[in-house]
Amino acid sequence: MTNPAYWLDRKFGLRNHTIAHYAWVIVAIAGVVQMVGAAIRMAFGVLVDPLVESFGWTPGSIGIAYALMSIVTALASPIAGYLGNRFGARKTMAVGTALFFIGMMWTSQTSAIWELYVAYGTVFGIAQALLLVPVVPAVAAWFRRHLGLGTGIMMVSWSLGPALVVQVLAVLFETVGWSSAFVIVGVVGTGILAFVLIYFRNTPEDANRIAYGTLTNDKPLVTEGSVFVSTQKEFQRFVYKTNAFWNLINIHFLGCVGHAVILVGIIPMAINKGVGPLTAAGVLTTISVISVSTRFITPILSDKFSAKTVMFLSFFGQGVGVFLLFTADSALDFYVFAVLWSIPYGGEGTAFPVVNRQYFGHFPIGTTYGWQLLGAGLGMALGGAIPGLVFDITGTYAWAIGLSAAFSLAGAVGIALLEPTRHQLIPAWPEMEAGPIGATAPEENRTLSPEAGD
């Protein structure tokens, strides 16, 4: 029987790409993991009012649980990345799934604020790191070339997933109450994660396949055994000695502060200028929807050209774009801002897997990416606190807007100081000694001819 994916290849006229590759299953699984793993984080705003009504806790004390969860996730990210490298993303995410279930069930039964801090802030925070960090390097391992395309498709789920889950949670909270909603989402989410992990494989070699974009004369990469472990340790030491490693953590931190200020503050900023609450909420929705396009395209452009240049333009645009808010007075002004700013914002964080590939080659980037997400998480926590704090003191959002611009532009300066991406900063990751993959690869895995290189 003809594989329908080959039929689709012909239908779409694909010559250098194919839909008939297991890498796309891995990308789809990564999208589902991102969607479920990030669901409750994104939906926290929906949770606040029901908890205030049920227990009489203040929004501020409930907000501490969110801040705690953000910081715990950030601090656990390098460890999650290391565990993904050492034991494989699948096992790490399985532990994350178990903690996700415990965190959700415990949160549903919470009756004291300290329980919320432990269940949601700590258990769920660790679960989120174990689910969200190792999956990105695992996807990278499935792409010998064209990583930008795989990353772009995966990153789209970051926007669409939470948008979908927030709506589902809002309906559940309204119909069955917040406690039952957590039980339902916990059980269904755990079921979905457990199901997709059955089909997840850490590397192409684990699945007895070859990576997407492998040419017939490529040799397979080392992905297991003693050489894998020892080389990984040695290469990680090289990575720590590069300026790029430290600078990329810094850049992710600065960029996340820059956009967290806007994402958290844009609705109150609009309301403060007389825009209605629903119209103001539409500004944030517009940003989420339009940024999907650049989340998709930025990694592809980064792969095709220089990730450094594309990242610089994204950060610079994100920084300069917020100046529009200084003069925004009407709903139209805010929507114009949303459309223009979401273009660079969407590309701010999605090129990191590609720039890691350009600097560190096929070295497993779990730990390295985990450190970068530590910077991102702390940046989101700081940026999220700025609008409210600054408004309480000054009675205006002007300072918050200025700080958002300053952090994003500082990130752009950091990118300008990165090493050129033309050459790897560490040696090439070792390959197997035997002949090229083309000699031994299963026929259905031979996705590209040597002429079809990127």
Residues near another protein (CB under 8 A): 204-205, 208-210, 220, 222-223, 225, 227-228, 231, 234-235, 238, 240-247, 249-250, 253-254, 257, 382, 389-390, 392-393, 403, 410, 414, 417, 426-434, 437, 440-442, 445
Cα-based angle 79, 356, 205 (whole degrees, multiple of 5)? 75
Residue 81 CB contacts under 8 Å (≥ 6 apart), including other chains: 133, 134, 137, 365, 366, 367, 368, 369, 370, 371, 373
Cα-based angle 249, 254, 255 (whole degrees, multiple of 5)? 100
Nearest to another protein of 171, 417 (CB atom): 417
CB of 205 to another protein, least distance (A): 4
Backbone angles phi, psi at 10, to 5 degrees: -65, -40
CB of 192 to another protein, least distance (A): 30
Cα-based angle 248, 253, 257 (whole degrees, multiple of 5)? 150
CB of 275 to another protein, least distance (A): 26
Calpha distance 103→186 (Å, rounded) = 8
Nearest to another protein of 269, 426 (CB atom): 426
Calpha distance 350→37 (Å, rounded) = 18
Beta bridge partners of 421: none
Nearest to another protein of 294, 367 (CB atom): 367
The DSSP code for 453 is -
CB of 16 to another protein, least distance (A): 20
CB of 172 to another protein, least distance (A): 37
Nearest to another protein of 13, 225 (CB atom): 225
CB of 73 to another protein, least distance (A): 18
CB of 279 to another protein, least distance (A): 30
CB-CB neighbours of 270 under 10 Å: 28
CB of 23 to another protein, least distance (A): 13
Nearest to another protein of 139, 210 (CB atom): 210
Nearest to another protein of 63, 430 (CB atom): 430
Calpha distance 168→182 (Å, rounded) = 11
Calpha distance 163→171 (Å, rounded) = 13
Among candidate residues 141, 161, 160, 261, the one with its CA nearest the CA of residue 210: 141
Nearest to another protein of 153, 437 (CB atom): 437
Beta bridge partners of 212: 143
Among candidate residues 44, 25, 42, 308, the one with its CA nearest the CA of residue 154: 25
Nearest to another protein of 427, 450 (CB atom): 427
